[in-house]
Copies of this chain bind each other. A is one copy, B any other.
Amino acid sequence: MTVNKTVDPESLKLFAKQTATLVENAMHQDLDQALIATDPLLRETLEHSLFNGGKRIRPLLVILSSRICGKTDNSSHLLAAAFEYLHVATLIHDDVIDGAKERRGVPSLVQSHGLAAAILTGDWLHARSMQLIGKIAGNRALEVFCHATTGMVDGEYLQIRHTGNPNTSEQQYFSVIARKTGGLIASACEIAGIFANASDEQIKALVAYGTNLGIAFQIVDDLLDYLGDQKSTGKKIGQDLVEGKMTLPLIRALANANTDEITLFKTLFSNPDQRAENLSLIKEIILKNDGFNSARATAEESIENAINALSLFTDQNENTSYAMLKGLALYVISRDK
């Protein structure tokens, strides 16, 4: 009898949904405790931002990573919630910086409630997330969490530095995404391991899984920016390009492109209006120079590395946490939203 080591997608989806509900319950309970005698507008802005159909991938990673190390404690739901808090805080502040009008198909907080509310609600979530991490998982976890947070800020700074620069290198791209996306995802896995009193070896494996998953997650995001369907992603196609972000498909394509194509691209890329108007033409240059395939191959390789990192967890049967984490990695590479 062969063992199916991957959970079937429907079971994973069901588990993810159940987990999301438990984590959302933990968030509601936590807000009820934290928001006694506070301004009602604070609750309104928190609920607007927290309960609008997020994928809850970071919380799911926390739950699965602590379970794979043998910890099924109920407080893991609140620990998981802390990651969603920080993630949402980042999104709220990002939307202020980018002047984004929408988030997940509804008005962004800065759009619906203004600048002050967006900055303050982000700050509130920031502080609350750190309080929960320290309380539930201790100081070592807090160090990891805060390091991931300051790293995200640094990643944003690096991204701003490279924005609009058509010569952005692959190394610069990976520096940014490791900090902006990879750090928090890896820290979710690492902190869950710390919370579960896992061995150093197990924690190292979880960090490797999370780091690779984070890289793949971001590359897929970058691909969806060009190839996605707005109805699924909820994001306008070509947004990264219009903002002047040099993502992997583009960097890979330019490495293959001929001089004429590079010259043409640099002209088209030189200002936001031209970038918006010439999305199709730039997509063609990427396609012709294998940028999409090459980026996807790298994402697939990262997913393979992520899954291989978990090999030391020996209980790999269907419906184990191992199978779920593997299934989650396979979802990340195949997702269309």
A: residues with CB less than 8 A from B are 34, 38-39, 41-42, 93, 96-97, 115-117, 119-124, 126-128, 130-131, 134-135, 138-139, 142-143, 146-147, 149-150, 153-154, 156-158, 160-161
Contact = CB atoms under 8 A, between A and B. Distances in A.
B135 A39 contact: no
Nearest to A156: B120
Main secondary structure, interface of A, reads: helix
B38 A120 contact: no
A329 to B, nearest CB: 28
A130 B205 CA distance: 27
Contacts of A96: 115, 119
The 6 closest A-B pairs by CB, nearest first: A131-B146, A39-B157, A127-B149, A124-B153, A134-B142, A130-B130
Contacts of A115: 96-97
9 contacts: A34-B150, A96-B119, A97-B120, A121-B153, A123-B126, A123-B149, A130-B134, A131-B143, A135-B139
Contacts of A154: 38-39, 42, 124
Contacts of A143: 131, 134-135
Contacts of A147: 131
A95 B142 CA distance: 28
A164 B297 CA distance: 58
A120 B143 CA distance: 19
A124 B150 contact: yes
B123 A97 contact: no
Contacts of A41: 157, 160-161
A119 B131 contact: no
Contact of A119 (B38, B39, B97, B139): B97
